[in-house]
Structure 1
Amino acid sequence: MTTIPAAAPPAPRQSAFRTLLGTGVGNALEWYDWNIYASFAIYMSRELFSSKDPTSAFLETMGIFAVAFVARPFGGAFFGWLADRIGRKHALAIAVIFASGGSLLIAVCPTYHQVGAWSSLILLLARLIQGLAHGGELPSAQTYLSEMAPPNRRGLWASAIYVTGSFGLTLGLLFGVVLRDTLGSDAMNQYGWRIPFAAGAVLGVFAFWIRERMEETEAFEDEKKAGELKKSLVREVLKHKKIALQVIGMTCGLTVAYYIWSVSTASVAQKNLGYSTNDAFGASIIGNLVFMVSLPLWGMFSDRFGRKTNMLIAMIGCAVLYVPLNNMVRGGNEFWRLVVAICVMLVLLGAYLAIAPAAYAEMFPTEVRATAFGVPYAIAIALFGGTAPYIMSAWAATPNRFVIYVIVLLLISAATILTLPETKGIDLSYHPKFNPRPDDVATS
Structure 2
Amino acid sequence: MNERLKSIIGGSTGNMVEWFDWYVYSAFTLYFAPHFFPSTDRTAQLLSAAAVFAVGFVMRPVGAWIMGIYADRHGRKAGLTLSVTLMCAGSLLIACTPGYETIGVAASALLVVARLLQGLSVGGEYGASATYLSEMAGEARRGFYSSFQYVTLISGQLLAIMVLLLLQAVMDPADLEQWGWRIPFFIGALLAIVVFRLRRGLAETNSFKNAKEAKSEQSGLLTLLRHHPKETALVMLLTAGGTLAFYAYSIYMQKFLVNTSGFSKVAASQINAITLFIFMCLQPLAGALSDRIGRKPMMIAFGISGVLFTYPIFATLEQTSSMVTATLLVMAALIIVTGYTSINAVVKAELFPAHIRALGVALPYALANTIFGGTAEYVALSFKDAGWERGFYWYVTAMIGISLIVYLRMRDTRKSSLIRED
Structure-2-length-normalised TM-score: 0.91
Structure 1 distance, partners of 2:336, 2:10, is 27
Q: How many angstroms apart in 1 are the aligned matches of 2:179 and 2:258? A: 27
Find the structure with the greater CA-based Rg. Answer: 1
Cα deviation, 1:72-131, whole Å, max 9, x if unaligned, reads: 110110110111110001000110111011111222224445544433332222111111
Distance 2:306 2:72 in 1: 35
Measure how far apart 1:375 and its partner are: 1.1
Return the letter of the residue paired with 1:131: G
Partners of 2:103 and 2:258 lie apart in 1 by: 36
Alignment of 1:200-279 (within 5 A): 200-229=188-217, 231=218, 233-238=220-225, 239-279=227-267
Give yes or no for the alignment of 1:333 onto 2:333.
no
Aligned to 1:409: 399
- Contact 1:222–1:429, Cα closer than 8 Å, also in 2: no
Task: Output the CA distance in 2 between the equivalents of 1:401 and 1:180.
Answer: 33
Which of 349, 354, 357 aligns to 2:345? It is: 357
Partner of 2:106: 118
1:91 equivalent to 2:83? Answer no
CA distance in 2, matches of 1:67, 1:421: 34
* Unpaired runs of at least 5, structure 1: 1-11, 432-444
CA contact (8 A) 1:151 1:425 kept: no
The residue that corresponds to 1:4 in the other structure is none
Q: 2: CA distance between counterparts of 1:155 and 1:135? A: 22
Looking at structure 2, the residues matched to 54 and 310 of structure 1 have their Cα atoms a distance apart, in angstroms, of: 42
- State how far apart, in whole Å, the 2-side matches of 1:236 and 1:350 are: 32
In 2, distance between residues paired with 1:423 and 1:406? Answer: 26
- State the Cα RMSD in Å: 2.3
Question: Is residue 14 of structure 1 aligned with residue 3 of structure 2?
Answer: yes
Q: What are the residue-to-residue correspondences of 1:6-405 with 2, within 5 Å?
A: 14-16=3-5, 18-48=6-36, 59-112=47-100, 114-229=102-217, 231=218, 233-238=220-225, 239-396=227-384, 397-405=387-395
Question: Is the contact between residue 26 and residue 137 of structure 1 (CA under 8 Å) also seen in structure 2?
Answer: no
Q: What secondary structure, in the 3-state scheme, does the structure 2 residue paired with 1:228 have? A: coil
Given that 1:97 and 1:204 are in contact with CA atoms closer than 8 Å, whether structure 2 keeps it comes out as: yes
Listed as ranges, the gaps of 5+ residues in structure 2 are none
1:127/1:319 CA distance change after superposition, 3 Å: same
Q: Distance in 2 between matches of 1:26 and 1:348?
A: 27
Larger deviation, residues 257-266 vs 358-367 = 257-266
CA deviations 1:163-220 (Å, max 9, x no partner) are 1111111111121222233232443344322211111011111111111101110001
Distance 2:320 2:174 in 1: 35
User: More displaced, 56-65 or 282-291?
Assistant: 56-65
Give identity over the alignment, percent: 33
- CA deviation map 1:325-369 (0-9, x unaligned): 234323432222211211112112112211111111001111111
Q: 1:52 & 1:250 partners in 2: Cα distance? A: 39
Structure 1 residue 428, shift from structure 2 partner: 4.3
Residue 232 of structure 1 deviates from its aligned partner by 5.9
Is contact 1:80-1:370 (8 Å) kept?
Answer: yes
- C-alpha separation between the residues in 2 aligned to 1:354 and 1:392? 25
Contact 1:154 1:425 in 2 (8 A): no
Report SS of the residue matched to 1:273: coil
Change (3 A) 1:419 1:199: same
Distance 1:106 1:281, change over 3 A: closer
**1:437 corresponds to:** none
Q: Which moved more, 1:299-308 or 1:322-331?
A: 322-331
What does the per-residue CA deviation read over 1:362-408, in whole Å, with 9 as the maximum and x for residues that have no partner? 01111111112211111111111112222222223334432222222
Letter in 2 for 1:325: I
Is the contact between residue 218 and residue 429 of structure 1 (CA under 8 Å) also seen in structure 2?
Answer: no
> In the aligned structure 2, how far is the partner of 1:392 from the partner of 1:48?
21
